[in-house]
Amino acid sequence: MRKRNAIGISPSASELTAGAICFVFQLTLLPRFLQWLNPQLGQPLSAAELNFVYYFFNFIAVLLIFPGFLGRSASEVRQHPAYFCQAVVLGLAAYYACTWAVDWAASRLVPSFTNYNDASILALGRSSRLLTLIGVVVLVPPVEECFFRGLIFATLYRKSHWAAYIVSMLAFTAIHIMGYIGTYSAAELLIAIAQYLPAGLCLAWSYTKAETIFAPILIHAIINFVAISGLR
């Protein structure tokens, strides 16, 4: 009988080690390297192009670092499609319900609130819609899910379910707001944090429900597609 609410597929020890090294590199050195390299080019890349290159490199790194993890996860989808579909549907429903509640509260507490990360992505979309669409829908979900759910969440889940959820949710939130901390007021910062916590929770839960990383990857891709399409 299939065990529920446990992570059936997780990265191997070697994948975790390589993933941790890559995760630190992509957060610290890679952005600085690209920012240094771009002006050296004969024709520097636009912000949208530079953002695409950053996630393209990370996407390739994920494919090279986690081939076994991704292969086993794909096999799990084929073997248990009902669990996979159920996790995706329920995860999306929970995300949009929680997001609606947070946005409703935010509109009353700070009516003029702007999510600067969302605004930045939409600006990139206006600059280069195709590159931004490919980036946020195709490249970003596998990268962020393999690191935040496959690396952080799965590692901690073996020791403490609570720690796995809390740490992965906070890490996922931090990566989306760190660059804008000085821009937000205290109240706006709390709202920005609250807006990303539901995604971190629902994506992690869908991983445990479907027992494959492709559930949060698909949910993440759908959420990003809806957002970039201006439907949310």
Query: Is residue 7 domain-resident?
Result: no
Q: Report the chain's mean pLDDT, rounded to a whole number.
A: 93
What is the crossing angle of helices 161-177 and 186-210, to 10°? Answer: 130
Measured CA to CA, the distance from residue 184 to residue 149 in angstroms comes to 27
- 3-class DSSP string for 171-207: HHHHHHHHHHCCCCCHHHHHHHHHHHHHHHHHHHHHH
pLDDT digits (tens, 9 = 90+) for 74-119: 999 999 999 999 999 999 999 999 999 999 999 999 999 999 999 9
Query: Is residue 11 domain-resident?
Result: no
Query: Is residue 197 domain-resident?
Result: yes
State residue 5's pLDDT score: 43
Spatial neighbors of 224 by CB under 8 A, at least 6 apart, are 136, 137, 140, 141
Measured CA to CA, the distance from residue 189 to residue 194 in angstroms comes to 9
Over 50: is that where the pLDDT of 2 sits?
no
Q: 130 is in which domain, residue-wise?
A: 70-228
Asked if 106 and 194 count as a contact pair (C-beta separation under 8 A), the reply is yes
Query: Is residue 177 domain-resident?
Result: yes
Query: Is residue 2 domain-resident?
Result: no
pLDDT digits (tens, 9 = 90+) for 126-162: 889 899 999 999 999 999 999 999 999 999 998 999 9
pLDDT digits (tens, 9 = 90+) for 212-224: 999 999 999 999 9
| Structure tokens that stand for 39 in this block | 């002006």
Over 60: is that where the pLDDT of 226 sits?
yes
Query: Is residue 195 domain-resident?
Result: yes
Query: Is residue 17 domain-resident?
Result: no
| Structure tokens that stand for 122 in this block | 């939409």
Query: Is residue 28 domain-resident?
Result: no
State residue 182's pLDDT score: 87
Closest alpha carbon to 152 in 3, 2, 22, 4: 22
* Burial class for 120, CB neighbours closer than 10 Å (0-12, 13-18, 19+): middle
Sign of CA dihedral 39, 40, 44, 45: negative
The domain tally of the chain equals 1
pLDDT digits (tens, 9 = 90+) for 161-180: 999 999 999 999 999 999 89
Query: Buried b vs exposed e over 82-92: b needs ≥16 C-beta within 10 Å?
Result: ebbeebbebbb
pLDDT digits (tens, 9 = 90+) for 21-62: 999 999 999 999 999 999 999 999 999 999 999 999 999 999
